[in-house]
């Protein structure tokens, strides 16, 4: 009887802990140096209540031949102050992963302001070469999703184009999970064009933005637990 009660008690305790693990987005432990390429800065996503704030040595961000290599760690944005967009302009980058990054996303952002405090704002375009839920190798599943969202303050971002499957995404290769995707944001006079692998994914009218403007900092967004090489073209 005591053994049975002990097992039952352990299961009762373990159940909420397991639920907590599923409810959050666990971060792979990465040991970095805390250093970044010259002039680059970073900003982690807001930390949920009760969790320790992440530190720069929990990601690897290094310059490599032809671009940058990222290994995360917590989700963050990365930017160089020289990459400022104003008026009509374009921002682009090519992302190359050697293996699946699971359900996580990566991409680019524009219109960044106040990026180091609680009034931060920016508009971001990210893709998931796998998909939000399930096994990336599940037979018959549609892989490849894209999202356009707007962050205002440290609150929950507002979706401008909700997460949805897109055939434009180069999805995980079925053999080893590698994928390469080019993302571009073109800011026109009255609209923003989100281009994926040289084809239009969506266009959003500037009048649909929630009080934001497209002028501002441009950069790279890397979510949790990702290893990817980025060929950053910056602002054109």
User: Does 124 map to a domain?
Assistant: yes
User: Does 19 map to a domain?
Assistant: no
What's the CATH code of the domain at 56?
2.60.120.560
User: Does 153 map to a domain?
Assistant: yes
pLDDT at 135: 78
Nearest to 138 by CA among 179, 100, 166, 105: 100
User: Model's pTM, two decimal places?
Assistant: 0.88
User: Does 22 map to a domain?
Assistant: no
Query: Structural domain of residue 61, as residue ranges?
Result: 28-235
pLDDT at 187: 98
User: Does 121 map to a domain?
Assistant: yes
Alpha carbons within 13 angstroms on the beta-carbon side of residue 125 total 31
One digit per residue, the tens of pLDDT, for the chain of length 236 reads 444 444 333 333 333 333 333 334 567 788 888 899 999 999 999 988 888 889 999 999 999 988 999 999 999 999 999 999 999 999 999 999 999 999 999 999 999 999 999 999 999 999 999 988 777 878 778 899 999 999 998 889 999 999 999 999 999 998 999 999 999 999 999 999 999 999 999 999 999 998 889 999 999 999 999 999 999 999 99
User: Does 126 map to a domain?
Assistant: yes
User: Does 99 map to a domain?
Assistant: yes
User: Does 18 map to a domain?
Assistant: no
Q: How many domains does the chain have?
A: 1
Contact predicate 219/86, CB 8 Å = no
């Amino acid at each position: 009887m005591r053994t049975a009660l002990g097992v039952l008690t352990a299961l009762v305790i373990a159940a909420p802990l397991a639920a907590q693990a599923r409810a959050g987005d666990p971060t792979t432990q990465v040991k970095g140096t805390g250093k970044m390429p010259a002039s680059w800065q970073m900003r982690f996503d807001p930390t949920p209540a009760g969790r320790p704030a992440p530190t720069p040595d929990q990601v690897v961000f290094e310059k490599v031949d032809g671009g940058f290599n990222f290994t995360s760690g917590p989700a963050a944005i990365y930017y160089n102050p020289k990459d400022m967009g104003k008026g009509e302009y374009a921002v682009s980058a090519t992302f190359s992963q050697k293996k699946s990054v699971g359900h996580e996303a990566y991409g680019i952002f524009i219109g960044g302001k106040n990026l180091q405090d609680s009034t931060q704002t920016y508009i971001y375009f990210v893709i998931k070469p796998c998909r939000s839920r399930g096994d990336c190798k599940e037979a018959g599943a549609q892989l490849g999703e894209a999202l356009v969202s707007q962050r205002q303050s440290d609150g929950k971002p507002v979706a401008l184009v909700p997460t949805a499957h897109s055939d434009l995404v180069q999805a995980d290769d079925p053999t080893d999970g590698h994928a390469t995707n080019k993302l571009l944001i073109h800011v026109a006079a009255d609209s923003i064009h989100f281009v994926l692998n040289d084809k239009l994914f969506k266009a959003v009218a500037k009048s649909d933005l929630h009080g934001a403007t497209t002028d501002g900092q441009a950069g790279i967004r890397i979510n949790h637990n990702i290893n990817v090489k980025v060929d950053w073209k910056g602002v054109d």
